[in-house]
Amino acid sequence: MNEQEKLKWIVEYIFKDLNLSDIDILNKYPRRNLPEGVRVTRFAPSPTGFIHIGGIYAAMLSERLAHQSEGIFYLRIEDTDKKREIEGTIEMIVKALNRFNINIDEGFISESEQVGNYGPYIQSQRKEIYQTFVKKLLLEGKAYVCFATPEELENISNMQSQRKELIGYRKEWAIWRNKSLDEVIENLKTNKSFVIRFKSNGDFNNKINFIDLIKGEVELPENELDVVIMKGDGLPTYHFAHVIDDYLMGTTDVIRGDEWLSSVPIHLELFNALNFDKPRFLHLAPIEKLDGNSRRKLSKRKDPEASVEFYYKEGYPVKAIIEYLLNLVNSNYEDWKVANPEVSIDEFKIDISKLKVSGALFDFDKLDYFSREFIAKLSADGVYNYVLGWAKNYEEKLFNLLFKNKDYAVSIFNIEREGEGKKRKDIYKWSIVYNEIRYFFDEEFDTNTIDINLISPVNFEDAKLIINEFILTFDLNDSLDIWFSKIKDIARKFNYADNLKEYKLNPDNFKGNVADIAKIFRVALTGKTQSPDLYQIMQVMGQERVVTRLNNFVKLLN
């Protein structure tokens, strides 16, 4: 056999069952022919059983950029690392995208159904495609078979670190790069395990430049590693799959985490070797958090809030998380929203030039703010349905309580919600609802445990008299004005100022003011010094419950 025949033999031996040609594949994945400016983007998660909030952030950005340009956004499952795979993740991802209103045009629409002409959209089903191009590179002498064992690789890196050289399978260290084809054939025949490596022509001392859509012009050393493109199990590595898929699927903008930035030289070299047009790149800095005084990346292991599951469990309405993430993407979102309260958030246009070059800082106060605002605008029925739906999955006792007492619960949620008055903003996630409303329910709230000292500065003797006086005249049918004038009458009677202005002018003339009087009732009914509107609370609790609780509180004061 001459050299050419030997190479053919090797390739046929390795890819016995492969009967596609690269031309067939290129024909099957025609260029998308989209007008200038139209973007094709993708979300390419690995099915590891975990959805990082940063993944949703990136997916949301990618989807918006595609759809804003009337382009295509697709979902590709990157499952080439079989060891890390966790069953059920595809379904999780599809559901999360649905929940976050991130609409895909192509890819998985359920655990088992894919749509779109550029599929399959899962890498393990694209093995033949990758292998066809691996085969092409082998025949062109741009790739080679490597039988280096784990021990040999370890030795190489040990020697490199001793000599303070760049670590990696490269240049003269690449022991299989220049082996004879006879030796390759011999090893193949003995069934030794092997990988296929790309034969790099780069040089680490040369620089390479490219434009990143956020970072601008980036200069990095050329790649000189002979990276693995096909692993021992016949599947491609990330580098190779990325290049093949993003080219064939017509991605115009690769938007991904900036942990991939340093690999761009490898990717550019592979695009060139395959004669593929290159996409644009946009590398996102990770979402960070404050840890003490320093910032660090949100960590999957250390920070529960790295996972979307955390937000579901805490009961943040997804719409509020979307708004929060939009604001992380482009910090002018908040102003836009205030200026356009009635416009759908889908209309907000993302501007790449406003993306942060360094990592966005996760800020729970801001998330809570968006959430409070969102919840404040819901109807009482809306809140009821949201909380019920959440509690069904996460808090059984709350679910039962709401389910059994629907009308009462809706009227509780309706406090400070309708009409022109101030809107309540106490609720910002569903997991706090139980604690915020339990005092309305006799079976959930032991009035004997109320801390009577909360009524300070009013003394216990005055408080008893005041409560008894109130009970005598309390009528649930009273309007707010009448109800309040009765409280003011009581205030005056016990030498408390009936309005704050008067009190502030001459505090020494009074024992306190009308707010101190109201506080007694608030504490007696709710056990707290802060609550939504007291008049409305009484209206919802009803005559009997109010009087019973007040009487009970008098007993506590004795």
Per CB under 6 A, residues contacting ligand GLU are: 44-46, 78, 242, 256-257
- Across the strands, what pairs with 281? 212, 254
Q: Closest approach of Cβ 256 to ligand GLU, in Å?
A: 3
Nearer to ligand GLU, 46 or 200 (CB): 46
Residue 389 CB, shortest distance to ligand GLU, in Å, is 30
Nearer to ligand GLU, 241 or 387 (CB): 241
Alpha helices in 474-533 (DSSP H): 480-493, 500-505, 514-526
Q: Which residue in the block uniquely carries the two structure tokens 């309007």?
A: 479
Angstrom CA distances, 453 to 497, 512, 520, 556, stand at 21, 16, 10, 11
Nearest to ligand GLU of 309, 469 (CB atom): 309
Q: Which is nearer to ligand GLU, 184 or 255 (CB)?
A: 255
- CA dist 375 → 212, 331, 333, 395, 444 (Å): 38, 21, 18, 19, 24
Q: How far apart are CA 343 and CA 115, in angstroms?
A: 31
Enumerate long-range contacts of 457-461, CB under 8 Å, 24 or more apart: 457/511, 457/512, 457/516, 458/511, 458/512, 458/516, 458/517, 458/519, 458/520, 460/557
Looking at the Cβ atoms of 85 and 222, the one nearer to ligand GLU is 85
Q: How far is the CB of 52 from ligand GLU (least distance, A)?
A: 9
Q: How far apart are CA 13 and CA 196, in angstroms?
A: 14
Q: How far apart are CA 225 and CA 204, in angstroms?
A: 9
Q: Which amino acid is at 330?
A: N
The least distance separating ligand GLU from the CB of residue 391, rounded to whole angstroms, comes to: 33
Whats the size of the chain, residue-wise?
558
Q: Are strands 207-212 and 195-198 parallel, antiparallel or unpaired?
A: unpaired
Partners of 143 in the β-ladder: 198
* Residue with smaller CB distance to ligand GLU, 44 or 550: 44
**Residue 152: helix, strand or coil by DSSP?**
helix
Q: Which is nearer to ligand GLU, 297 or 417 (CB)?
A: 297
Phi and psi torsions of 413, nearest 5°: -70, -20
Q: Which is nearer to ligand GLU, 54 or 315 (CB)?
A: 54
Q: Cβ(116)–Cβ(74) under 8 Å? A: yes
CB of 76 to ligand GLU, least distance (A): 8
Residue 129 and residue 115 in contact, taking contact as beta carbons nearer than 8 Å: no
| Residue 175 C-beta: closest distance to ligand GLU, Å | 30
The two beta strands, 280-284 and 253-257, are: parallel
Q: Which is nearer to ligand GLU, 80 or 414 (CB)?
A: 80
User: Which is closer to ligand GLU, CB of 237 or CB of 447?
Assistant: 237
Q: How far is the CB of 33 from ligand GLU (least distance, A)?
A: 24
The distance of closest approach from Cβ of residue 396 to ligand GLU in the complex, given in angstroms and rounded to an integer, is: 35
Q: From CA 341, how far away is CA 323, in angstroms rounded?
A: 12
Residue nearest to ligand GLU (CB): 256
What residues contact 393, with CB distance under 8 A and at least 6 apart? 312
* Phi, psi (degrees; rounded to nearest 5) at 369: -60, -50
Q: Are 222 and 189 in contact (CB under 8 A)?
A: no
Considering the complex, what minimum distance in angstroms separates the CB of residue 78 from ligand GLU? 4
Nearer to ligand GLU, 238 or 370 (CB): 238
Element (DSSP H or E) covering residue 207: strand 207-212
CB of 79 to ligand GLU, least distance (A): 9
C-beta closer to ligand GLU: residue 78 or 533 = 78
What is the rounded (10 degree) CA torsion for 460, 461, 463, 467? Answer: 130
Task: Using the minimum distance from each CB to ligand GLU, give the nearer residue, 78 or 416.
Answer: 78
Minimal distance, residue 387 CB to ligand GLU, in Å: 34
Nearest to 533 by CA among 377, 411, 407, 415: 415
C-alpha span between 246 and 256 (Å, rounded): 12
CB of 47 to ligand GLU, least distance (A): 9
Nearest distance, CB of residue 316 and ligand GLU, angstroms: 24
First to last CA, the chain: 108
